[in-house]
Amino acid sequence: MQEAAINYRYQFADLELNTQLGTLVRLQTHEVKLPWLSYRLLCVLCHSAPGIVSQQALIEQIWPEIVVGDETLKQRVKLLRRVLDDNAASPTYIEAIRGRGYRLLPHVEVTAIPDPSLSIRLDLATDTHVSPANGSSYPLYWKITSLSLACILSVLTCIAILYSSTHTIPTSISETLAAKISSGFDNVLYENGLDYYHRYRAEDNKLAIELFNSAIEINPNMAKAYAGLSDAYSQGVFQFNGPAKWQQLAIDAAYKAIALDPNLAQGYKSLGLAYYNRGWLTKAISANLKAVQKRVNYNEAMSNLGFIYREMGQLKQALHWIDKALDANPSNSVSMLHKAQILFALGQYTKADNWLNKALKLQPDSLLANNTQGASLLQQGLFSQAKTHYQNLLTRYPGQLAFVEGLARTHLYLGELEQARTLTDKLIQSDNRQVRIKGELLYYLASSEHSDEQLAHLETKFKHELAQGSDRASDSLALAQIYAKNSEHSKSYRYLIQAINQGLLEKNLVVLDPNFNALKLEASFVQLIDEMDNQRAQQQ
């Protein structure tokens, strides 16, 4: 990008990029923290301004030693725009020229900075991390990481100076340093990715995906980065309405992690989570058990086992594993939440509320914990309270489709069918296939009239899930509801029995479901409800 011993100061719009210091400053007042790869991208664009840089040229200069595709470059441009507060639709800084590449829009003034000392200050500890808002400081662990990397860079700079006394430096200073630190920097990106993943927020989860992908760009054989990527894709689907393609990407990334390191416990745990998202609960159990075999007292795998066994109605096993998880890590909010869910399933509501409140105290904005609170109110038949709860949640999180679904379901139980149908529009428009199917189901159940085409469509969808290996009770229950609404009672019984055998224990959700009104007085239906009571009693 530059000649060997010369750095540059690029001034454009309200920004100044200094390649000697490795800094980007806005309005001469505060520094904009740039990720390492974003820093390289901005340097190339500044050096070439006002010219257009092709995608291939950008890839060759930003990733000189590894092979990446156009999509990786697009994601890196997107991340740089995010840091600069740039809008792709109406850009201030970076313009995309279809079929040609990218260029900087503002006029760029270039000043050469002689740099005989070879001194450089790159704040690499903040890679793929957006600078905090004015008035706040970076977390302590960021400062520690930054200090550690600064020490490493000082040592590397000394080595570079000694080396340059007898050798010619063929590339720019920043490129030389990048080559020297890349083997350790992949791990920095991975650890930061884990931190963002464990924040359990939609935007943080997207950033975790970017961080794991960046680590993989540097080290394509980093098994644990693939495992982390798999987890982030799965969490995106499970909690944050991620696109359906992430389900398969999660499975593929977990397979890659295990292929690179067959003894990596995290790889099997990630595979278990990816299997769960596909509805393959038995396979998910098997994968998490392998993870525990590979790593004793693996909290996350044991917590996942508790969660999945609960969904399968095996509450004794669920409680066994969640208690082991809490023994391994007593302060884990997710394990606390899973224990609350198990206790709700057992009907031990007071104890469940205590554990749920503990989880919410540690993670007040946890979407899963707040949704669990609403689901527990539905399970108890407290529909008016559930309605208020979900309405309050949607005031705080208007785009969260899990809460939209919860409120639509509440309206359905309250007989407020028009409100339920209105809400399902948002679900049906989702990019997430599972969310979309749930929306279509709720719309059908809340409609006074329906067509044979609607019935056939839903019947095909849920039977396809079961045929593809899903052993989720909710898929079987959906078919039971569909057939009950269509007055096909024998088929409804068939799938209700299947749902109970798959672990359906929430009696109130069946007894109070208006779609089963025509069945409630039949002896067969009463016997099935008694069977649900018996199964739950055996789990106490």
* pLDDT one-digit tens code per residue, 118-139: 333 333 333 433 333 333 333 4
pLDDT at 19 over 70: yes
Q: Would you place residue 185 in the very low, low, confident or very high pLDDT band (cuts 50, 70, 90)?
A: confident
**Distance between CA atoms of 234 and 16, rounded to whole angstroms?**
39
pLDDT score at 28: 67
Q: Would you place residue 112 in the very low, low, confident or very high pLDDT band (cuts 50, 70, 90)?
A: confident
Joined tokens for residue 314 = 């095996």
Joined tokens for residue 101 = 């590449």
Tell which residue, 474, 472, 531, 488, has the closest CA to residue 507. 531
CB 410 within 8 A of CB 378: yes
* pLDDT one-digit tens code per residue, 285-316: 999 999 999 999 999 999 999 999 999 999 99
**Distance between CA atoms of 271 and 267, rounded to whole angstroms?**
6
- Count Cβ atoms below 10 Å from residue 55 Cβ, excluding itself: 17
pLDDT at 281 over 50: yes
3-state secondary structure of 93: coil
Q: Would you place residue 177 in the very low, low, confident or very high pLDDT band (cuts 50, 70, 90)?
A: very low
**Distance between CA atoms of 194 and 225, rounded to whole angstroms?**
9
pLDDT score at 310: 93
**Distance between CA atoms of 516 and 4, rounded to whole angstroms?**
77
Highest mean pLDDT among 68-82, 154-168, 433-447: 433-447
Q: Which H or E run contains 10? A: strand 6-12
CB contact set of 154 (below 8 Å; sequence gap of 6+):
none
Region 38-55 average pLDDT: 90
3-state secondary structure of 37: helix
**Distance between CA atoms of 258 and 263, rounded to whole angstroms?**
7
Per-residue buried b or exposed e for 404-419, using 16+ beta carbons within 10 Å of the residue's own CB: bbbbbbbbbbeebbeb
CB 229 within 8 A of CB 216: yes
Region 65-90 average pLDDT: 84
**Which is it for strands 30-31 and 108-114: parallel, antiparallel or unpaired?**
unpaired
Joined tokens for residue 156 = 């590397």
- The percent of residues above 70 in pLDDT, for the chain, comes to 85
pLDDT score at 30: 79
Q: Is the dihedral of CA 287, 289, 295, 299 positive or negative?
A: positive
pLDDT score at 120: 35
pTM: 0.65
pLDDT at 188 over 90: no
Beta bridge partners of 16: 11, 25
Please enumerate, as own/partner, the contacts of 344-347 that have beta carbons within 8 Å and a separation of 24 or more.
344/372, 344/375, 344/376, 344/379, 345/310, 345/313, 345/315, 345/318, 345/505, 345/506, 345/536, 346/315, 346/536, 346/539, 346/540, 347/536
